[in-house]
Amino acid sequence: MNSSIITKPLTRAGIFLGVGLGGFVDGIVFHQMLQFHNMLTGRIPKDTIANTEINMFWDGIFHSFTWIMTVIGIILLFRAHRVPNVLWTNRVFTGSLFLGWGLFNLIEGVIDHHILHLHHVVEAKGESIYDFLFLLSGAIFTIGGWWVIRSAKAAAVGHK
C-alpha cells in the first residue's frame, strides 16, 4: 500500500481525451448524423445555402478544437507513462475520460446553449428540456468520473 501513488498525470491525459472524444460524439451525432443543430444555428439558421456554408465552416472549427484536445490528450498520455508512481488502471483512465466528457458537456452547454444561444441541442425546439438534459449528463459524467478516480486511488492505497 503506497501512499505516494499519484493519479494526476493519467487523469490530466484522460480529461483532455474526454473533452476531445466527447466533443467528437457531440459533433458527429448531433451535428452530422441527427442534424439537430450546427455550431451557429441559434444565430444563423440553415435557411439558405450561404448560411449552411457558414454553419459548416464553424462546425469545422469546432471539430478542429476537439481534434486538438484529443492530440493533447495523447501527448499527455505518452508523457504520463514516464512519471513514477502513476496508478495505471482502467478505472482511473475511464473515470478521467468521463470527467473530461462531463466538463465538455457542462462548459459547452452553459456557454453555447444558455449564455450565447449559439445553438440548442434540438434547434427546432430552441432552449428546451434537451439543453438541461445535456447539462445533467455533464454533471453526472463529471461527478461519476471524479468518484471513480478517487475510489480507484483509495483502493490502491488501502483505504475504502
The range of the structural domain enclosing residue 126 comes to: 8-156
Question: φ and ψ at 6, to 5 degrees?
Answer: -125, 155
Q: Mean pLDDT across the stretch 67-84? A: 97
The cell for 30 is 448531433
Instruction: Note whether residue 1 is domain-resident.
Output: no
Average pLDDT score, the chain: 95
Overall number of domains in the chain: 1
What's the pTM?
0.93
Domain presence at residue 3: no
Q: Which residues in 63-94 are b (16+ Cβ under 10 Å) and which e?
A: beebeebbebbeebbeebeeeeebbebebbbb
The answer as to whether 138 is a domain residue is: yes
Residue 54 pLDDT > 70: yes
| pLDDT over 80 at 160, yes or no | no
Instruction: Please tell me whether residue 47 adopts helix, strand or coil conformation.
Output: coil
SS3 percent helix, strand, coil of the chain, rounded to 5, is 70, 0, 25
Rounded CA separation 48/67 (Å): 28
Answer whether residue 101 is part of any domain: yes
pLDDT digits (tens, 9 = 90+) for 30-47: 999 999 999 999 999 999
48 part of a folded domain: yes
Is 2 among the domain residues? no
Residue 1 has pLDDT above 50, yes or no: no
Nearest to 142 by CA among 108, 105, 112, 113: 105
Q: What is the DSSP letter of 109?
A: I
Residue 2 pLDDT: 54
65 within some domain = yes
**Separation of alpha carbons 149 and 16, rounded Å:** 15
In a domain? residue 39 = yes
